[in-house]
Amino acid sequence: MGSVQNIRNYVEDVLVLVEGEENKINALVEIIEDLKKDEATSNLLLIRVDEVKPEFKEDFEGRFTDFNIIRDSDEIAERQDEGLHHLIKLREEVAENFHDLDVKYGRISKTLEALPSRMAEEIKKL
69 closest CA partner among 31, 16, 20: 16
Could you report the per-residue pLDDT of 5-32, keeping only the tens digit for each?
A: 877 665 678 888 888 888 888 898 888 8
Q: In what order do the strands lie in the sheet with 13-18?
A: 13-18, 2-7, 67-70
The per-residue pLDDT for 54 is 82
The total number of structural domains that make up the chain: 2
More confident residue, 58 or 29: 29
pLDDT band for position 55 (cuts 50, 70, 90): confident
93 plus 126 within the same structural domain: yes
Q: In terms of domains, do 17 and 79 share one?
A: no
Alpha-carbon distance of 52 to 4, in angstroms, equals 14
- 18 and 35 fall within a common domain: yes
Q: Are 3 and 49 in the same domain?
A: yes
CA distance 108 to 118: 15
Same domain, 58 and 7: yes
Give the pLDDT confidence score for residue 21 in this predicted structure. Answer: 83
Which of 49, 70, 91 lies at the terminal end of a domain, its last residue?
A: 70
How much is the mean pLDDT over the chain?
A: 82
Same domain, 108 and 63: no
Average pLDDT over residues 50-77: 79
> Domain range spanning residue 104?
72-126
Interior/surface letters 52-85, b for 16+ CB within 10 angstroms, e for the rest: eeeeeeeeeeeeeeeeeeeeeeeeeeeeeeeeee
Q: What pLDDT score does 27 carry?
A: 92
- For the whole model, what pTM was predicted? 0.49
